[in-house]
Structure 1
Amino acid sequence: MGIGRAPGHHGELLQGVFWDTLGEPRRGLVTLPISGSGTCAEFRPDLGTAPDALTVVPADRAKARRAAVLTLDLLGSALDTPVCGGLLRLTGDLPVGLGMGSSTSDIIAAVRAVADAFGVRMPASTVAALAVRAEQASDPLMLDDRPLLFAQREGRVLEVLGNALPPMVLLGCLTGAGRPVDTLRLPTVDTSWVEAYERLRRRLRRAVRTADLALLGAVSTESARLNQHLLPKEELPVLTEVARSSSAVGIQVAHSGNVAGVLFDPAAADLPHRLERCRTALARAGIAVTRVFHTSAARSRKDTPVVRPRR
């Protein structure tokens, strides 16, 4: 049996269109990682069956199944021993369709579980490529927790913004009554916006490298405002006003989902009072509060090479 795990996130601090190193516009995002939530996958091979004879539980996780079959195809061309189908079981606590990376988490956990069943650990670049093939776009959850500008439709890093995000406390909430969002039906940001997003990229880079939480909150808030022309959130004016009145540093949203949050400085002396004031104001406005998150320190996961396919 193989085991694989993957974390989730709480939407994005920044998402838009940016220049790559060749001067080409690329769509990219910077996720807000959270600890403690994610997916665990177990893969039990059924020896002698075809690689596509694969059952997934829950049965509606078609993207994870697709990723598992793609992984078996890759391993089949790389290993001396034959691969087979089997049972893929997924468990986790990420809500589906809210913008917390549930499908990417499922896919990464599935890829890792299948590879683990055959004694292989995939490098992050291979996992990213498989994830994009399985779902057309991917969050950077196969990488470490450094703040990355990640091209989600290509599965590659555009920039490492620094070593770690400054510590934050996030009061999570739901917009749009928590309705799931079909991300593949959303419009894509127009490349004519690239200079506006490049300005935010430069400010976010400075915020990360100087641990300027106020500047980071301003960037995240502006990115949420710019995203209104793609996925409007009618609660956004209320969120920004509640953040101001609660002495928060800003807000953040899932740019392709309905989770959002109010960002606070964990060093604030009256933090419990600020959080309670924010919670009360959101509830009064009819915005459902989820829970308080503490961002995790950057962690590093060293990859060991996968056996490469034969040429």
Structure 2
Amino acid sequence: MTTTRPAGPAAGPREVVGAGEAACHHGEILQGVFLDERRRPCHALVTLPMHGPGAHAAFLRRSDDGPDAVTVTPPGRAKARAAALLAVRACAAHRGVEPCGGELRLSGDLPVGLGMGSSTSDVIATVRAVADSYRLRLAPQTIARLAVRAEGACDPLMLGPGPLLFAQRQGRVLEALGTALPPALVVGCTLGGGAPVDTLSLSARTDDDREPARYERLRRMLRTAVADADPALLGRVSTASARLGQRVLHHPEFETLTAIADRTGATGVQIAHSGNVAGLLFDPRAPGLHRRVRHCLRALDGDGMTPTVNFSTGTNSGTTTGATPPDRRGDHRPHHRPGPHLPERGPLPWTSTSPRPSADRT
């Protein structure tokens, strides 16, 4: 349940409105096959959280409608509708009443298909809105279970920004790695011209006998990076994970991206494992940071990898890669330069960061 209620349909005498929202992320720091508490191979991931806009949902529950009579605006959000149907039944059972349908309205400016958790954000916001209409606040673990049932796998957006090794197909945490990721400035960009990725078309990962051993090593490295607040080790982990992910993703820009990271002194790169969003990680304490980021932005632009956002891990203020921060008194949408295939759902969000270095600083 949330305190911010997006605009939604007015409720009649036999109608109740609920609202919910959910954040997004910027792809993964680490994703692969790990060993669970019983030493069984398990697919899991660690996302790179972002503060900023995600999905908003309003659910108008109508007691006269049957439990399957749920409409969704905008149309085509099948996963969100599935989540609404599941949440209606779960909440009604908790209240001891008959389930009923209603109208779900989704809004937000998170692009689809770039690997930023857009579908999970929709699903979580939907579940929270349905629960709010029943005047319930569901536990994050309950929301995770409903999300997995609705979309087959989900990101850990319902569990907060702390770094978690999360089994996305089971909706459970394998390990809480700490309270926050190491400090890093992330310079975001899009690959593939910003075109969305059909995650169902991605080939399955190669799960040979060596796979868990490789990823368990990266897990230990990430655990140390978090404990020591070490941005250099964080970059090594994310780059290694992204390189292993190339066996499935085959981004033609990958070597160029890593070369830019090397030339500009970034600690590493991170790439969404189910989309075209990527980022270069910088140590915010490194000397010449403004100059490094400026050169990085120019290099990305020159090689056709459109810069999108820059943000810092573990903070709450945000801006875009524009030369100056947005006016916080007015429009908070980014003045970005979208790729030719940026989805119509909306612009990339500006997120948590200190102001981007302007182009005339060294």
What is the TM-score of this pair, normalised by structure 1?
A: 0.93
Query: Aligned residue for 2:145?
Result: 129
Matched, 1:142 2:158: yes
Aligned to 2:53: 37
Residue matched to 1:212 = 230
Shift of residue 186, structure 1, vs aligned partner: 1.7
Bigger drift between 118-127 and 70-79 goes to 70-79
Alignment check: 8 A CA contact 1:128 1:140 kept: yes
Distance 2:288 2:74 in 1: 44
Correspondence for 1:258 among 276, 285, 309: 276
Shift in Å at residue 297 of structure 1? 4.7
What is residue 96 of structure 1 aligned with on the other side?
112
Cα displacement string for residues 233-289 of structure 1 (whole angstroms, at most 9, x for unaligned residues) = 111111111011111111100011100001111223422211110000111112111
1:5 to 9, 15, 21: 21
Q: State the Cα distance separating 1:2 from its structure 2 match.
A: 0.6
CA distance in structure 2 between the partners assigned to 1:254 and 1:288 by the alignment:
15
Q: Secondary structure at the match of 2:100?
A: coil
For the aligned residue pairs, the C-alpha RMSD in angstroms reads: 1.2
Superposed CA deviations along residues 20-64 of structure 1, whole A, max 9, x for unmatched, are: 010100000000000012111111112211121111111111100
* CA apart distance, 1:86: 1.1
- Distance apart, 1:183 and its partner CA: 1.4
Measure, in 1, the Cα distance between the counterparts of 2:253 and 2:53: 25
- Letter of the 1:194 counterpart: P
User: Which of 246, 249, 253 is matched with 1:235 structurally?
Assistant: 253
Q: Does 1:275 align with 2:293?
A: yes
Per-residue CA deviations over 1:96-130 (Å, capped at 9, x if unaligned) read 01100000000000000000001111101110010
Residue 187 of structure 1 is aligned with which of 174, 194, 203? 203
Identity percentage over the alignment? 55
Q: Which runs of 4+ in 1 moved over 6 A?
A: none
CA contact (8 A) 1:125 1:156 kept: yes
In the alignment, structure 1 residue 156 sits paired with structure 2 residue 172:
yes
Gapped regions of structure 1 (runs ≥ 5): 299-311
User: Could you tell me which of 196, 212, 215 is aligned with 1:197?
Assistant: 215
Structure 2 unaligned blocks of 5 or more: 1-16, 317-362
1:296 has 2:314 as partner = yes
Q: Which residue of 2 aligns with 1:301?
A: none
Does the residue aligned with 1:5 lie in a helix, a strand or coil?
strand
Select the structure with the greater relative contact order (CA < 8 A; seq sep ≥ 6). Answer: 1
Matched-pair contact (CA < 8 Å) for 2:194–2:276? yes
**Which shifted more, 135-144 or 288-297?**
288-297
One-letter code of the match for 2:136? V
Aligned residues between the structures = 298
- Residue 162 of structure 1 and its aligned partner are, at CA, apart by 1.2
Distance 1:222 1:128 in 2: 28
